[in-house]
Amino acid sequence: MTVKENKKAWQYLLSAPVIVAALGYFVDIYDLLLFGIVRIPSLTDLGLNEAEISIEGASILNWQMSGLLLGGILWGVLGDKKGRLSVLFGSIITYSIANFACGFVQDVTVYKILRFVAGIGLAGELGAGITLVSESLPKKLRGIGTSVVAGVGLLGAVAAYFTVELFSWRYAYFAGGGLGILLLFLRIGVFESGMFKNMAEKGDLKKGDFLSFFTNARRLKLYVKCIGIGLPTWYVIGILATFSNEFGLALGITEEVKPGLAVMWCYIGLAAGDLLSGVFSYYLSSRKKAVAIMMLFTLLGTIVYLYAGIQTAKGLYMMCLWLGFGIGYWAMFVTIGAEQFGTNVRATAATTIPNMVRGTVILMTTFYAYLKPHVLELDAAALLGLICFGIGFYCILTVPETHDKDLDFTEPE
């Protein structure tokens, strides 16, 4: 690149859509992971004992993940029918109000409902942001732009951890709601995607049809493969990091292993990996190669995590950093999903695909819990990982390449 080209590239990467999408995802991740971090102190304050915390904590998390699944479909359809910006505004209002309300909760049942509503709101942020950025940047910079969004956004996990460490869990929820409201003012100056505007003028075109992914064999195959690519990411977050305290005991680590700290280190690595994955894809001129290499790096880290005989909590945290860096293809995976489909269903794809992956955590935790009474915790996690990585590698190796693909097209009915 010449000096002039470099300057223009930086202007695109520091444009309003990229900055606002990045900050929006920062708040999104902060709120998404907050319950996992405050689960024990919040439920203890509500008067639950250790056994009840385990049962109700899992139930509340499943309610939140169910909200993500439903919200992914809702916001995705609205993103293609009403516009990407409509979703960004609507989703943030929803989860900001829900998080404020969580700061006042006094009852477990109400807590479940509020986390469900928060899940619905949180589902729209990433997909709409990635779609807007993908359609606003030149095709050569799309991968880097979406990586910047995710890299900055994922630091919200670090902010969530330290907010809970410094303040009470109720104030942590208030902070999340307040950050969302502040973000609304930043979004006022952001313009709608030009591709969406052009598509919206075609009145006879069917927009935001979620069922269209299941009525056409080609689209269904692509859609399922895009979901499969993301499975290793939430295997790492939802199993290896979330249950790090159990793996610490299984490895014979005598120090206390804090899952919240493990998740934080995982997300620090994820943020760094996401920032690099876009550059990696740019220089390889391939989304597929970049993702496959990072997936392989994650697989190697998983083997070390489970079977290398880690002996300290610090060692386990550092492995979470390694694994987080490896799954730093998260933004690239969402970008691949957005680039596979036409403008009239692109927001639906980009919003539902990552939330379908998040929703598989329910299946992963259920399968892991089923295996634990029959095999050792480490072996149970390894078997689940074998399935997730097997599906992930097959999908990334067989999905069409989308690097430099022109996105100005629509899906036929």
For residue 327, pLDDT over 80 is answered with: yes
Q: What average pLDDT does the structure give for the chain?
A: 86
pTM more than 0.85 = no
Residue of 308, 323, 321 whose CA lies nearest to 378: 308
For residue 304, pLDDT over 90 is answered with: yes
- The CATH architecture one would assign to domain 16-188+214-398 is Up-down Bundle (1.20)
What is the average per-residue pLDDT within 349-358?
Answer: 88
- The H or E element that residue 294 is part of is helix 287-307
Q: What is the pLDDT of residues 195-248, one digit of tens each?
A: 666 666 666 678 778 888 999 999 999 999 999 999 999 999 989 998 898 899
Residue 3's pLDDT is what? Answer: 46
Quote the Cα angle for 123-127-128, to 5°.
Answer: 100
Cα 350 to Cα 135: distance, rounded to the nearest angstrom: 12
For the chain, the helix, strand and coil percentages under 3-state DSSP, each to the nearest 5: 80, 0, 20
What is the average per-residue pLDDT within 63-78?
Answer: 87
> Residue 302: exposed, middle, or buried by beta-carbon count in 10 A (0-12, 13-18, 19+)?
buried
- The H or E element that residue 187 is part of is none
